[in-house]
Each structure stands twice: as structure tokens, then as C-alpha cells.
């Protein structure tokens, strides 16, 4: 019995999971980003005070920038529209969140990995990186509008 044909069939079957998984990641985390950004905008005073307390310069402008990025790019992620483009500013926003609000967790990336992966930005960052690296999948507006015409997946 040859193992290569079995491995090829296995890989074909499990590769069908890619697009539904990317859809779930995009939908869940896109919605979470959009809701978080919306919440920041609706509690602008309180979030501005928090940003100021952790030393972020121009706190109100930075709240508006971060929240707007989360709302807009999170919505695009959810839809799978310009998903890779939208993922990049979300990655940057989460990296800034680590540097500013979760510096202790960031500094513990090697010494205490649990602290790093349980920090609030981690799953947001991971979801954004997955979409940035792998794209939105076939169950997205990107694929429907742009890839289908070229015949690529």
C-alpha cells in the first residue's frame, strides 16, 4: 500500500476546511473589532482619560484613530472585502496596544508566554495576522469580486 495517494487525498479533504475556518475567524473577530471600536467612540471621554493615563500622546486623537480603524477595518474583515488591506492597520493597532497598554505582557513574551498570550490584544492580533497571511478565503467578497474572474483561488 502506497502512502502518498492517501496523504494526497487527506490533504485535499482537509484543505476544504480553510475557507470556512477563515470565514469564522473573519466574522467573529471582524465583528469584535467593529464593536470594540464603536464602544470606544461612544465612550470617548472615558477612553481618552485611559489613553492619557498610560502616557499616549494626543489621547483623544489617538482614541478616534484607533476606534475608527477598528470600526472600519473590522467591518471590512467581517465582509471579507479588501480583507488583507484591512488586516494590516489592525495588526499595527494591536501592536501599539501591546506597546502602550500591555507593555508588561509584551516584555514577558519569552519569559512568561502565558502573560503574553492572555493579554487582551493577543487574539485580535492573531486573527489579523491570519487574515493578512492567508487572505479571506473563498467565502468572501474579495474572492467573489476579484478572484473568481481570474480563476484563481
Domain extent for 45: 20-150
For position 147, what pLDDT does the model report?
Answer: 81
Q: Does 15 map to a domain?
A: no
pLDDT digit string, tens, across residues 73-88: 999 999 999 999 999 9
CB 115 within 8 A of CB 108: yes
For position 150, what pLDDT does the model report?
Answer: 47
pTM: 0.90
Q: What angle do CA 104, 106, 108 make, to 5 degrees?
A: 70
Looking at the predicted structure, is the pLDDT value of residue 152 above 90? no
Q: Does 11 map to a domain?
A: no
In the chain, how many domains are there?
Answer: 1
pLDDT digit string, tens, across residues 89-141: 999 999 999 999 999 999 999 999 999 999 999 999 999 999 999 999 999 99
Q: Does 9 map to a domain?
A: no
Amino acid at each position: 500500500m502506497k502512502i502518498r495517494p492517501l496523504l494526497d487525498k487527506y490533504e485535499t479533504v482537509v484543505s476544504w476546511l480553510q475557507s470556512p475556518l477563515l470565514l469564522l475567524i473573519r466574522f467573529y473577530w471582524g465583528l469584535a473589532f467593529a464593536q470594540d471600536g464603536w464602544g470606544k467612540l461612544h465612550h470617548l471621554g472615558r477612553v481618552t482619560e485611559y489613553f492619557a493615563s498610560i502616557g499616549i500622546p494626543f489621547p483623544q486623537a489617538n482614541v478616534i484613530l484607533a476606534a475608527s480603524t477598528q470600526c472600519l477595518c473590522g467591518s471590512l474583515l467581517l465582509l471579507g472585502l479588501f480583507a488583507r488591506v484591512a488586516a494590516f492597520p489592525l495588526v499595527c493597532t494591536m501592536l501599539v496596544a501591546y506597546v502602550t497598554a500591555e507593555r508588561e505582557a509584551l516584555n514577558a513574551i519569552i519569559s512568561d508566554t502565558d502573560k503574553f498570550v492572555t493579554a487582551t490584544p493577543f487574539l485580535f492580533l492573531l486573527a489579523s495576522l491570519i487574515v493578512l497571511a492567508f487572505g479571506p478565503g473563498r467565502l468572501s467578497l474579495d474572492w467573489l469580486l476579484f478572484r473568481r474572474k481570474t480563476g484563481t483561488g
